[in-house]
């Protein structure tokens, strides 16, 4: 079972192989592959299977920037609400993917426009397709 926090349920769709380290990238690729192959995903608000390889994770908290952990938890809660999911829900990636178009405009306006990773996501065809829809 793959454990994913709320914002990763959205952002993992746009992962393209650019990031912190080879170890982190390899982990992301593996998680995305497993999700696409139908492995069950368990949703949550805390550090997940992606975070565990991040250099900014210390004592299960994100230290990417000041207040990052609180901001990310708020992102997680927003993502889960927009995707109409609750914490500790088990589901398949295809269900999450199917819900993405209906919530993406709100997500984009609230988070993507200020995100440090926006330039990476702009290289992703699915991301561009979702933006073009609004």
pLDDT in tens, 84-120: 999 999 999 999 999 999 999 999 999 999 999 999 9
Return d(Cα 44, Cα 42) in angstroms, integer. Answer: 7
- How many domains, the chain? 1
Contact 41, 35 (CB under 8 A): yes
**17, pLDDT greater than 80:** no
Domain ranges, residue 28 = 2-132
**19, pLDDT greater than 80:** no
Return d(Cα 39, Cα 46) in angstroms, integer. Answer: 20
- Confidence at residue 34, expressed as pLDDT on a 0 to 100 scale: 98
Strand partners, 62: 57
Average pLDDT, the chain: 95
């Amino acid at each position: 079972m793959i454990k994913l926090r709320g914002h990763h349920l959205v952002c993992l769709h746009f992962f393209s192989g650019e990031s912190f380290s080879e170890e982190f990238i390899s982990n992301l690729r593996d998680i995305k592959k497993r999700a696409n192959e139908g492995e069950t995903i368990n949703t949550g608000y805390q550090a997940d299977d992606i975070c565990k390889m991040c250099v900014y994770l210390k004592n299960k908290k994100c230290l990417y920037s000041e207040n990052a952990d609180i901001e990310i938890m708020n992102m997680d809660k927003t993502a889960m609400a927009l995707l109409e999911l609750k914490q500790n829900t088990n589901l398949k990636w295809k269900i999450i993917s199917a819900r993405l178009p209906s919530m993406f405009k709100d997500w984009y306006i609230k988070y993507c426009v200020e995100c440090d990773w926006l330039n990476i996501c702009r290289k992703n065809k699915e991301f561009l397709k979702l933006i073009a829809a609004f």
